Amino acid sequence: MGADGKIYTLEDVSKHNNNKDCWLIIKGKVYDVTKFLEDHPGGDEVLLSATGKDATDDFEDVGHSTSAIMMMDEHYIGEIDTSTIPTRTKYTPPKQPLYNQDKTAEFIIKLLQFLVPLAILGLAVAIRFYTKSA
């Protein structure tokens, strides 16, 4: 099943994803847990569902005991090529859109929105004033 220290890709590992042949990735290391499936106190299903991906978080979430961690050595077969594992999705706040640094156009529009009705009003008053006095 591959010599110790061999480097596998995520694709290699994900091919071993059944109860006759099951590999896992935990903390950058690849484990062949096929023979362990029946003996795993957490059951075979969790192990099977953790193949083909980095199972580090799943493994740690359970809070495995030190004796469990020591048992892992027996199943170690190699390392994972970390570049083949998708990086953890970190929350990055969306970038603020670059605001238009030049506010002149915006300012002129605002000014017009204010001045045009005022001008119309002024014109109406002026016309009325003019027609009255004529």
- Asked if residues 60 and 52 have their Cβ atoms less than 8 Å apart, the reply is no
Q: What is the distance between the alpha carbons of residues 116 and 7, in angstroms, rounded to a whole number?
A: 73
Identify which range of 10-18, 66-74, 91-99, 113-121 contacts ligand HEM by CB under 6 A.
66-74
CA–CA separation, 95 and 69 (whole Å): 41
Residue nearest to ligand HEM (CB): 42
**104-123 binders of ligand HEM (CB under 6 A):** none
Asked if 29 is part of the footprint of ligand HEM (rule: CB under 6 A), the reply reads: no
Q: Is 46 in the site for ligand HEM (CB under 6 A)?
A: yes
**Considering the rule CB under 6 A, would residue 41 count as an interface residue with ligand HEM?**
yes
DSSP 94: P
Identify whether the C-beta of residue 33 lies closer than 8 Å to the C-beta of residue 24: yes
Choice between 20 and 95, CB closer to ligand HEM:
20
- d(CA 101, CA 92) in angstroms, rounded, equals 24
Binding site for ligand HEM (CB under 6 A): 24, 31, 33, 40-42, 46-47, 50, 55, 58-59, 62, 64-65, 67-68, 71-72, 75
